[in-house]
Amino acid sequence: MDTYNNPNNLVLEDRYELIDVIGEGGMAMVYRALDRRLNRYVAVKIMRPEMAQEAEFRQRFFAESHAVAMLSSPNIVAVYDVSHSADIEYIVMELVDGITLKHYMERKGPIPWREAVYFAKQIARALAHAHAKGVVHRDIKPQNMLLLRDGTLKVGDFGIAALENEVAEESGTAVGSIHYIAPEQIRGESPDARSDLYSLGVVMYEMLTGQKPYNGDTVGEIAVKHMNTDPVPPTKLVPDIPPELEHITLKAMNANIFERYQSAEEIIRDLDRFAIIQTQQEDEAEVVAMETPSVVPVRSVSEMSKEKFRRRKRRSTRVSFLSGTFGVLVVALFLVFYLLHNFLQDYFPDKGSEDRSAGHMLMPNFLGMSVDQILSNPENSVFDFEIVYLNSSGGDQINPSEYTVERQDPGVDTRVALKSGGTPVTLYVSTSVTQVPDVYNMDYRDATAVLRVSGYYVELIDELSETVPRNTVLAMSPAAGTPLEKGSWIYLTVSAGPETEYVSMPNLVGLSETAAINKIEEAELSYGGSEYVTSDLPAGTVIGQSEGSYNLIAAHSKVILRVSTGPEGA
């Protein structure tokens, strides 16, 4: 079958009509094809005939394809169908209309931090989903990522790209992946989820700087640098890169596998937290630069710096209460607010002064302003203000500079009549300085929710405890009852329970059921039974596992296998 030279009019299984070649790798060719049954265009990857003759590659290609077909993420190129026969091996995938991230980076050069974080989070979400299903990519690089017109990024070739590179290496072809490969892969060790995170760190480095961290005249020279050389800090190449983002990037690509991020969720949390804090800082800087009158925030002397607190703890893990979606919304809302209030306001009349000569006006916007700001402005002398303090007891000593407007009546842009004694306006105000709630001995999830509602950021620090139940708050800083400004950080020390022994979950997909059970027991885990399902794989082949490959799980945990019973009707 001369599929490779003349694909026109070739139809696979009376369904997939091959149209033209759109890519090729060391072990397969990729075609644009029409799915006649669903009337949609797809990508079909067909294993080269010379590779299909190798039983080991056929088995691995098919097993990996089935594993990837279980993935379902908006940031992963979807696998629709897998075919396994004596004549041809192919997989049918989503046809993505876009360009590779590599192509985008080559055209644009260094990418601004917001854009780089946006792409990095999409890659990390794809990795988090795949790793949870036991699938490791093993070849994360810009060439394997497709960028759509709407900014969505999709990672392709999960579990398959590395096999193609093995073929390229055996044939003596230069492998572009050497620039992104993790040190443990270079040493011949089995890659795991953390290896993908190293490669993600390298991609982030290249996005931010426009350069790869390691270059050399030979593959061997580059490999040695991955294992033994620290990269040039990104800020030395592009000074505008925020230092915290540089820290995240370098931690992701740490050569020591135990000192880099241990899961994709960890890097997503740090990226979310960084984006929120960086946006707030830039927001404050813009306000200062524009010399906009503002109230200096009152901070408690009891608020402890993070570095000081970290030095008192040996083990910490950081969790932001805000999700990635909220972080994106914060950035978007800030941009909209900035544009409206700094660029578009010149195109619209001052509503507060509109038609005053006729005895009417539109109510100004007092929301977010301090009581001092409002009362000290001469233009507001036409109003008779009633101030309602929402979170102040009768005995409190009120400082108007600490109170800002949460609600106003009449509302913004309401048309009101001007009165000789002053137009009545009610302002509902609250203070940004409140007392820290007491969450001691609470479950950390409930405690985080309480502090979140109170307007604080939360950082969790794990600490082993033989007596206090797991997930219980052991201590908090600042202490409960401390006056503290909203938006400050509160540190909760949380019981991690007694010390637990963890082991690495082996990859069992593609093994026989007996071999998988033996491997489970060798890893100090417990076999929890098998679920038998029909599939195109030979009967007795493991096609899934209850725990993700290479994840660290408690020793003696039960692992359940999904085992093929062979094709239906066989």
Annotated catalytic residues are 139
Residue whose C-alpha is closest to residue 160's, from 90, 219, 113: 90
How many CB atoms sit inside 10 A of residue 357's CB?
9
Contacts 24+ apart (CB under 8 A), 298-302: 298/399, 298/402, 298/432, 298/433, 298/485, 299/484, 299/485, 299/488, 300/433, 300/478, 300/482, 300/483, 300/484, 300/485, 300/488, 302/478, 302/479, 302/482, 302/483, 302/484
β-pairing, 526-533 vs 558-564, is parallel
Q: Please report the beta strands in 294-442, taking only residues with DSSP state E, as ranges in sequence order.
A: 360-362, 383-389, 403-409, 415-417, 423-431, 433-435
Q: Which two tokens stand for residue 251?
A: 């931690």
| Residue count (the chain) | 570
Burial label for 70, CB within 10 Å (0-12, 13-18, 19+), is middle
In the chain, the N- to C-terminal Cα span, in Å, equals: 27
One-letter amino acid of 550: Y
Give Cα separations from 487 to 279, 424, 475, 541 (angstroms).
Answer: 13, 32, 20, 54
At 316, list the tokens: 């910490």
Helices (H) and strands (E) in the chain, counts: 16, 24
The token pair that represents 149 in the structure block: 């017109």
Q: Say how far apart CA 485 and CA 436 lie, in whole Å.
A: 9
* Cβ contact 386:407 at 8 Å: no
Distance CA 78, CA 89 (A): 18
Strands 16-24 and 79-84: unpaired
CA 237 vs CA 178, 217, 240, 252: distances in Å: 22, 21, 9, 18
27 neighbors 48 (Cβ within 8 angstroms): yes
List 417's β-bridge partners, or say none: 360
Cα distances from 75 to residues 8, 98, 376, 413, in angstroms, run 31, 13, 52, 43
| Ramachandran angles phi, psi of 213, nearest 5° | -70, -30
C-alpha to C-alpha distance for 384 and 401, rounded to whole angstroms:
19
Query: How big is the chain by its Cα radius of gyration, in Å?
Result: 30
